[in-house]
Amino acid sequence: MDKVDTIIVGAGVIGLAIGARLSQFQKNVLLIDKNSSFGEETSSRNSEVIHAGIYYPQQSLKAELCVAGKNKLYEYCEQRHIPYKRLGKLLVAHNEDEEEYLQQTIEQAKRNGVNDLILLTEKQLTKLEPALSATSALHSPSTGIIDVHSYMQSLLAEMDSYNAMFVAQTKLLQAESNTEGFVVTLDSQGEISQLQCQQLINCAGLHSQKVANNIEGLSSQYIPQLHWCRGHYFSYSGKSPFSQLIYPVPKDNGLGIHASLDIGGQLKFGPDTLYVDELVYGVAAELKPKFVQAIQQYFPSLDPERLQPAYSGIRPKLQAKHDTFKDFVIQDQHVHGLKGLINLFGIDSPGLTSSLLIAERVVAKII
Ligand SMILES: Cc1cc2nc3c(=O)[nH]c(=O)nc-3n(C[C@H](O)[C@H](O)[C@H](O)COP(=O)(O)OP(=O)(O)OC[C@H]3O[C@@H](n4cnc5c(N)ncnc54)[C@H](O)[C@@H]3O)c2cc1C
């Protein structure tokens, strides 16, 4: 049977970042994905925002890895010529309760090590963003946007330069632990094969729980329940009225229907939150009135005719609809007892921002 050092299951930003880092230390790293290319699921269906890390509870992995990950990602973009823009963001308030939330956010951000938030008055906002309606806002200068596809291509090129392999259209069917690690059964377009590896990394995003269930010997008590939560986007035709990202106060387990720009300057609004049972994408035109209402809170002169259904993405959430905060889960043998296995569960937002730090954290468990 052929042998490799490590098999990484899932070529989204997380698997690619782990592959790029691990291949600097190991000779035989194999990254597989069941789809026909890398990054075809959540990693290409998100807001492409580099988050500042201001909301997450102190000492959570999300806070720690987002704040450090943001800095690392900006450096990486600079070094490897990946298109990005540090546009900044405004978190906007419309009443006393929301203004109170802004105050709390300043304190939360400080606890997370983010000390650059600036509170702006209505008058200052009118000057800065004339189309915006808000009584006050927090300006976060370290929030930005990134071209995720270029980022993923760069990670893949890095892996390639260290002779790691990426194989598409290859699905992990099951894994069995033995004294040397794992025997993994793969399905490559109907051709079934087996490979021996020492380490197995499960970063299969929306399917991480399914992959974990197919690892013999892994007790189900270590597989947390996953909830799929779809978020829809509408694009805006015409020139963006905003020069930075505009966020309402977060609600409903999401960051609220915000306005974000992509690298080409295209303005889009979203995502909302809808818990779903099926992995079906698409944006129903009937969602438009809800979007118009939410957007007009901070952009009253919005012409609804300019909004078009664009795309959707599905969050792999550990947080059920009415749950409180749930953190990223990165599990190794100290948790589940299976030597060589690392499982990643619930890598929803800010997973993109945190990806390089998540990769560092995972690789540190191996080398
Ligand atoms: C609507 C939305 C907006 C978001 N906005 C942001 C944002 O602005 N900023 C931010 O930081 N984060 C954001 N996120 C979160 C971010 O997109 C994710 O954290 C990140 O993309 C997760 O990457 P991943 O590699 O874990 O998962 P994925 O990209 O889903 O990759 C997992 C891969 O595993 C593969 N796979 C699954 N099962 C198998 C198998 N059995 N065998 C082989 N391959 C398999 C899949 O085909 C897939 O390609 C957002 C997410 C959503 C849904």
pLDDT higher at 252 or 46: 46
- 322 C-alpha to center of ligand 1: Å? 22
User: Does the Cβ of 353 fall within 6 Å of ligand 1?
Assistant: yes
User: Does the Cβ of 262 fall within 6 Å of ligand 1?
Assistant: no
Name the 3-class secondary structure at 82.
coil
User: Please, which pLDDT band fits residue 1 given cuts at 50, 70 and 90?
Assistant: confident
User: Does the Cβ of 314 fall within 6 Å of ligand 1?
Assistant: yes
The closest residue, in CA terms, to atom 3 on ligand 1 is 46
Apex 37 CA angle, 235 and 187, nearest 5: 135
The closest residue, in CA terms, to atom 37 on ligand 1 is 204
- 82 C-alpha to center of ligand 1: Å? 19
User: Does the Cβ of 32 fall within 6 Å of ligand 1?
Assistant: yes
User: Please, which pLDDT band fits residue 251 given cuts at 50, 70 and 90?
Assistant: confident
User: Does the Cβ of 258 fall within 6 Å of ligand 1?
Assistant: no
For residue range 61-102, list pLDDT tens digits in order: 999 999 999 999 999 999 999 999 999 999 999 999 999 999
For residue range 100-157, list pLDDT tens digits in order: 999 999 999 999 999 999 999 999 999 999 999 999 999 999 999 999 999 999 999 9
Q: What is the mean pLDDT of residues 4-10?
A: 98
User: Does the Cβ of 14 fall within 6 Å of ligand 1?
Assistant: yes
**In the block, residue with structure tokens 């010529």:** 81
For residue range 37-65, list pLDDT tens digits in order: 999 999 999 999 999 999 999 999 999 99
User: Does the Cβ of 13 fall within 6 Å of ligand 1?
Assistant: yes
User: Does the Cβ of 256 fall within 6 Å of ligand 1?
Assistant: no
The pair of structure tokens assigned to 24 is 């600097």
The answer to whether the beta carbons of residues 258 and 349 sit under 8 Å apart is no
In the chain, where does DSSP find H-type helix? 13-22, 61-79, 96-111, 122-128, 148-161, 208-213, 288-296, 333-336, 351-364
The answer to whether the beta carbons of residues 38 and 347 sit under 8 Å apart is no
Q: Find, among 284, 348, 349, 274, the residue nearest to 316 by Cα.
A: 348
Asked if the bond preceding 271 is cis, omega within 30° of 0, the reply is yes
- 12 C-alpha to center of ligand 1: Å? 5
Q: How many CB atoms lie within 10 A of CB 137?
A: 28
How much of the chain exceeds pLDDT 90, in percent? 98
User: Does the Cβ of 202 fall within 6 Å of ligand 1?
Assistant: no
From 47, 193, 261, mutation site for ligand 1 pocket: most ligand atoms within 8 A of C-beta: 47
